[in-house]
């Protein structure tokens, strides 16, 4: 078994590369433990074991268990929002609103289930963390929700939602199903690719109107989106992504 680092061995220069690497090690370990054990079951001793550190070393980087968990929760949702924004920015502007929703479904599931322990932890523990450490998480949740709200609003305006649907309810039901995948999915239940493809098929057929009701010409909202994308390319504007 590898020797666990002591506080003196991990402290070094608090602003130096070694210190930053150890801090990241602690954060990565906390994300894995929080994803597996939940808020109530996450102990600093478990995080230290996961990071192969002695428990007191954690306090050089985080003043409390709550501060560490808050950082994991914020990071998980912030990175997923950044990933979704980047995914949508890279889609051709002429893509329909419904196709953009399908791309968002794939981006959400892939990031949640195979890319980020932070995002899995953030989604699984959203309803468990106490009020005093929710502020930054809630801010990112609002940002992420706004991206989806815009996707569904565009689909409604462009005629790609069934007229009998409530767009807000449809959005929350889709997001709820995507988030719940973090609780039940594992590779033994089926491949990730098949799960993503199934989700996209359900969303497409559940949201889209009958074929004779699908618009045949680009509506104004889609034309505006194309114009905005063209302007961004001409000016070299891209979406910023933040680091942990």
Mean pLDDT in consecutive groups of 10 residues from the start of the chain, 244 residues: 42 62 94 94 94 90 94 95 95 93 97 90 91 91 96 95 95 96 89 96 92 59 55 50 38
In the chain, what is the greatest distance between 2 CA atoms, to the nearest angstrom? 70
Please check whether residues 26 and 122 belong to one and the same domain.
no
**Predicted local distance difference test score (pLDDT) of residue 6:** 41
The DSSP code for 53 is: B
Confidence (pLDDT) at 187: 86
Q: What is the pLDDT of residue 1?
A: 40
Q: Are residues 14 and 107 in the same domain?
A: no
Same domain, 128 and 199: yes
d(CA 37, CA 42): 6
Q: Are residues 20 and 111 in the same domain?
A: no
- Tokens 């990730």 belong to 192
Q: Is residue 175 one of the residues assigned to a domain? A: yes
Nearest by Cα to 154 from 218, 210, 199: 218
Q: Is residue 244 part of a domain?
A: no
Q: How far is CA 49 from the centre of its chain?
A: 26
* pLDDT attached to residue 213: 60
CA dist list (Å): 25 to 21, 55, 72, 138: 6, 13, 12, 25
* Residue 111, both tokens: 């990031």
Last residue of a domain, one of 46, 63, 80: 63
Whether residues 34 and 75 share a domain: the answer is no
Same domain, 20 and 140: no
Q: Is 34 left (phi over 0), alpha (psi -120 to 50) or beta?
A: alpha
pLDDT (0 to 100) of residue 13: 45
Domain that residue 126 falls in: 70-235
For the chain, how many structural domains are there in total?
Answer: 2
pLDDT at 115: 86
Long-range pairs, 15-18, Cβ under 8 A, ≥24:
none
* pTM greater than the 0.75 cutoff: yes
Q: Pick left, alpha or beta for residue 159 (phi over 0 → left; psi -120 to 50 → alpha; otherwise beta).
A: left
């Amino acid at each position: 078994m590898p020797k666990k680092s002591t506080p003196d061995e991990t402290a070094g220069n608090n602003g130096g590369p070694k210190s930053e690497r150890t801090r990241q090690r602690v954060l990565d370990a906390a994300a894995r433990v929080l994803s597996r054990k939940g808020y109530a079951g996450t102990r600093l001793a478990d995080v230290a074991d996961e990071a192969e550190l002695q428990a007191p070393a954690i306090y050089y980087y985080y003043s409390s268990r709550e501060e560490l968990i808050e950082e994991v929760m914020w990071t998980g949702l912030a990175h997923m929002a950044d990933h979704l924004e980047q995914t949508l920015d890279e889609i051709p502007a002429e893509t329909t609103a419904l196709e953009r929703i399908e791309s968002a479904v794939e981006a959400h599931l892939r990031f949640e289930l195979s890319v980020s322990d932070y995002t899995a932890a953030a989604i699984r523990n959203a309803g468990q963390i106490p009020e005093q450490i929710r502020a930054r998480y809630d801010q990112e949740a609002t940002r992420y929700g706004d991206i989806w709200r815009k996707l569904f609003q565009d689909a409604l305006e462009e005629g790609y939602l069934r007229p009998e649907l409530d767009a807000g309810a449809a959005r929350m039901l889709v997001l709820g199903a995507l988030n719940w995948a973090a609780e039940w999915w594992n590779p033994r239940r089926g491949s990730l690719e098949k799960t993503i493809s199934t989700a996209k098929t359900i969303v497409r057929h559940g949201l889209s109107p009958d074929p004779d009701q699908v618009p045949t010409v680009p509506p104004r909202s889609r034309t505006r989106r194309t114009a905005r994308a063209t302007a961004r390319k001409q000016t070299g504007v891209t979406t910023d992504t933040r680091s942990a």
